[in-house]
Chain A
C-alpha cells in the first residue's frame, strides 16, 4: 500500500519493459514518438513501449530493435506478457504521444510522423484485438508518462498543462 515501496522502471526511446505492482513504469520526453501501455488489470502487470516509427518495413537495415516500430514492438510486447502468464484477451491498452513538435509549411512525410505513429499503433492493437481504454495523442507538446499497474492509471505530464491522469 502506498508511496515509496515500488520503484519506477524507466524505458528509453525505442525500448520496452514490463513491470508488476508495486512498481510503476515511465518514459520521458515523448515528442512524435508514442508510448504504448499494455496492461492486465487483475494481474496488475503492465508493459510499456516507446515507439519511434510506424512500420518495420520502413527500416532499410535489418530491424534488430523490434521496440523501435509500432508493428513489431506491440507484437513483441504481447509475446513478453504472454510469457508472464497473461491471457491475451485480458489485455487493454492506453496510449500517449504522437505530437508534432515543429510546424513547417512543407508537407514532408517525416514531419507528420507523430500522427502516423498513432495510426500505426491503433492499427496494430486492432489487429491483435486489444481495446484502447484511454489516449492522449496529437497536439504539439512533449509528454512524460508513467503507468501504475496497481490502479491502471496513466499519468501524463506536459510542460504547459501540467499533470493529468487517464
Chain B
C-alpha cells in the first residue's frame, strides 16, 4: 500500500491535520484564555525510528495523551506536550502556581485537568476530521502518561507494526504566544492513520 501514496494523497492528509488542529487550537485558546496558534502541518512517511526521534528523542520526558480511533477509519492519536509547557497550561487551568508534572506523585487534580484537556482537544480535532471527511469514527477515552517520548509514541506504532515498518504521521505543532518555540519545547498533535484506513479517507474526499 505504501507505494500507492502520492503527493496528492499527502496533501489531503495535510488538510486533515490543518482542519483538525485548527479546531483543537481554538479549543485550547478558549480553555486557557490565551492566544494559541498552530503551524502548518507536516505529513511524512517515516521509518519507526525517525518517529522516535521527534520531540527531542526517545528519552525526552513528555506529557502524552493517547487514544485509539475505530470506525470507518482507524488509527492512533497523540497530544504530546513538553513538561514545561504542560506545567504552564495546567497551572493556568487549575490556578495553582505550585503544580508540577515532575512531582512524585503528580497531584491528582493536575492529572484530571490534563486528562480533561486531552478529552476536549482530541474531541475538537476528531470531530473536525469527521465533519470534513463524512467518516464515522469512534475514539476511545484518552489515556495519560508522563514518561519518555519513545515509550509513549511506540504504543501507537505497535498496531501499525503488524503490517508495516513505516508510519504516515500527520504532525501539527502548536505555538504559544510569548514563549521560545523550538522542536523540543513545542506541543504536538500526531495522527497516525492505519494503512487499511487510507482507502476510506481518500475515497471520502474524492481522491482515489
A60 touches B158 (CB 8 A): no
Interface residues of B in 40-73 (CB under 8 A from A): 48-49, 52, 57-59, 61, 66, 68
Closest to B47 in A: A12
Bound CA–CA A36/B149 (angstroms): 20
Interface residues of A in 131-166 (CB under 8 A from B): 140-144, 159-160
Interface residues of A in 19-73 (CB under 8 A from B): 28-33, 52-53, 58-61, 64-65, 68
Bound CA–CA A32/B153 (angstroms): 10
With contacts A12-B52, A59-B163 taken as known, whether A29 is within 8 angstroms of B158 at the C-beta atoms is no
Query: Is A8 engaged at the interface, CB distance under 8 Å to the other chain?
Result: no
With contacts A59-B163, A102-B143 taken as known, whether A159 is within 8 angstroms of B154 at the C-beta atoms is no
Query: Is B85 engaged at the interface, CB distance under 8 Å to the other chain?
Result: no
Q: Which of B52, B148, B165 contacts A68 (CB 8 A)?
A: B165
On chain B, the residues within 8 Å of A52 by CB distance are 154, 157-158, 161
With contacts A64-B165, A104-B141 taken as known, whether A28 is within 8 angstroms of B59 at the C-beta atoms is yes
Query: Is B116 engaged at the interface, CB distance under 8 Å to the other chain?
Result: no
Closest to B60 in A: A29
How many of B's residues come within 8 Å of A, CB to CB?
A: 32
Bound CA–CA A143/B115 (angstroms): 23
Closest to B147 in A: A142
Closest to A65 in B: B165
B150 touches A59 (CB 8 A): no
Q: Which of A31, A58, A68, A141 contacts B155 (CB 8 A)?
A: A31
With contacts A12-B52, A61-B163, A104-B140 taken as known, whether A159 is within 8 angstroms of B147 at the C-beta atoms is yes
B163 touches A101 (CB 8 A): no
Query: Is B93 engaged at the interface, CB distance under 8 Å to the other chain?
Result: no
On chain A, the residues within 8 Å of B148 by CB distance are 28-29, 31, 142-144, 159
B143 touches A103 (CB 8 A): yes
On chain A, the residues within 8 Å of B155 by CB distance are 31-32, 101-102
With contacts A13-B48, A142-B147 taken as known, whether A61 is within 8 angstroms of B164 at the C-beta atoms is yes
Count A-B contacts at CB 8 Å. Answer: 103
Q: Which of A31, A140, A141, A160 contacts B150 (CB 8 A)?
A: A31
* Minimum distance in angstroms from A134 CB to a CB of chain B: 20
Bound CA–CA A101/B148 (angstroms): 10
Q: Which of A32, A60, A99, A108 contacts B163 (CB 8 A)?
A: A60
Query: Is A14 engaged at the interface, CB distance under 8 Å to the other chain?
Result: yes
Query: Is A118 engaged at the interface, CB distance under 8 Å to the other chain?
Result: no
* Minimum distance in angstroms from B150 CB to a CB of chain A: 2
Bound CA–CA A53/B150 (angstroms): 16
With contacts A59-B162, A142-B152 taken as known, whether A28 is within 8 angstroms of B147 at the C-beta atoms is no
Closest to A31 in B: B151
| Interface positions of A (Cβ within 8 A of B) | 12-15, 28-33, 52-53, 58-61, 64-65, 68, 99, 101-106, 108, 110, 113, 140-144, 159-160
What are 7 inter-chain pairs, A to B, with CB distance below 8 A? Answer: A28-B58, A29-B58, A30-B151, A102-B66, A102-B145, A141-B147, A142-B148
Contacts A14-B48, A31-B154, A143-B148 aside, 8 further interface pairs with beta carbons under 8 A come to A13-B154, A29-B52, A29-B148, A33-B154, A104-B140, A104-B141, A104-B143, A144-B59
| Interface positions of B (Cβ within 8 A of A) | 48-49, 52, 57-59, 61, 66, 68, 104, 140-141, 143-152, 154-155, 157-159, 161-165
